[in-house]
Amino acid sequence: MLHDLVDLGRYPIDRPDSPAYDRMIEDLQRELGQDGCAVMPGFVHPQGIELLVSEAEAVAPMAHRSFNRTNAYFTKDDPRFGVGHPIRRFYDRSNAFVPADNFTKSGPLRRIYEFKGFLRFIRAALGEPADRFFRYDDPLADVIVNVVEEGQGFPWHFDTNNYTVTLAIQNGEAGGAFEYAPNLRTSEDENFDKVASVLDGNGALVRRLELQPGDLQIFRGRYSLHRVAPVTGKRCRYVGIFSFVEAEGMCGGIERTRQLYGRVLPHHHAREGMRKDQLLD
């Protein structure tokens, strides 16, 4: 059970047959329907936060750091578009991720992720069917911690996956706000004019969240432009990332895994071989 970590009185993810659970799911679905973002303040209680911070600090030295320049779409430059077009605007991005195999089954972060009721709860909040919602089958990336140091953040971008589930563990001394422009594009319309407006500094469409340690965030980031403002001060910002996917057995590709985590495992080679066999079939 998760009583030593999660405020189960406020968020009864362990009681799926209760009226309180139904109300919780209804509230989350309403928030996600409005702007693709739902926040559960104090999902982890103060005693649980202490455990999570201790774990994050212990494994932070194992974070793999990578640097690149990317546009908001994680695509290559396209000279068919004019100078200043959103696709042609590139920003420095630094990543520091602690790979998943640093988090033991008895540790607080993995205990939350692998709690049976947690998968069911996130699936219900997102309204996803059981046959299209699974834990990520990647031993380096299923549950990780993002370490953000002074001067770092994430530039404006759209996610390549449909949703992210994150847990705020520790904030920097200042900065690090989560900013997003909800539903800025659709599957039919990229809405480049408004994307360019946000990139130019127009804050009229932007919402700003100051997430606190213990807050759980469920975010549909494929269609909402978003960023994390740079952190200031010597204290690191720690965020746990819980990964869920739409196909059972999904695992990261070898090239991308090596870029983000600095190494691959035999599991990745096996999964890569399976993918190639499926393509040949």
The domain locations on the chain are: 19-250
Amino acid at 260: L
CATH assignment of 19-250?
Answer: 2.60.120.620
The set of residues, in sequence order, having a beta carbon less than 8 Å from that of 67 and lying 6+ positions away, is 92, 93, 94, 95
Confidence of residue 264 (pLDDT cuts 50, 70, 90): confident
pLDDT of residue 273: 66
pLDDT digits (tens, 9 = 90+) for 217-230: 999 999 999 999 99
Angle of CA points 94, 241, 48, to nearest 5°: 120
d(CA 238, CA 247): 28
Asked if pLDDT for residue 68 goes beyond 70, the answer is: yes
CA 29 distance to own-chain centroid: 18
In the chain the first and final C-alpha atoms are separated, in Å, by: 43
Q: What is the distance between the alpha carbons of residues 265 and 259, in angstroms, rounded to a whole number?
A: 13
Of the listed ranges 79-88, 99-108, 256-265, the one predicted with least confidence = 256-265
Beta strands 134-135 and 244-245 are antiparallel
Task: Please give the torsion angle defined by the CA atoms of residues 194, 180, 144 and 94, in that order, rounded to the nearest 10 degrees.
Answer: 60
* pTM, to two decimals: 0.93
pLDDT digits (tens, 9 = 90+) for 128-163: 999 999 999 999 999 999 999 999 999 999 998 899
Question: What are the tokens at 93?
Answer: 């991005």
- Site of tokens 């804050």: 203
Nearest CA among 128, 155, 167 for reference residue 70 = 155
- The sign of the CA dihedral 89, 94, 98, 99 is positive
Q: 72 and 157 in contact (C-beta within 8 Å)?
A: yes
**Could you tell me what percent of the chain has a pLDDT over 70?**
97
Mean pLDDT of 7-17: 98
Whether the predicted pLDDT of 279 surpasses 60? no
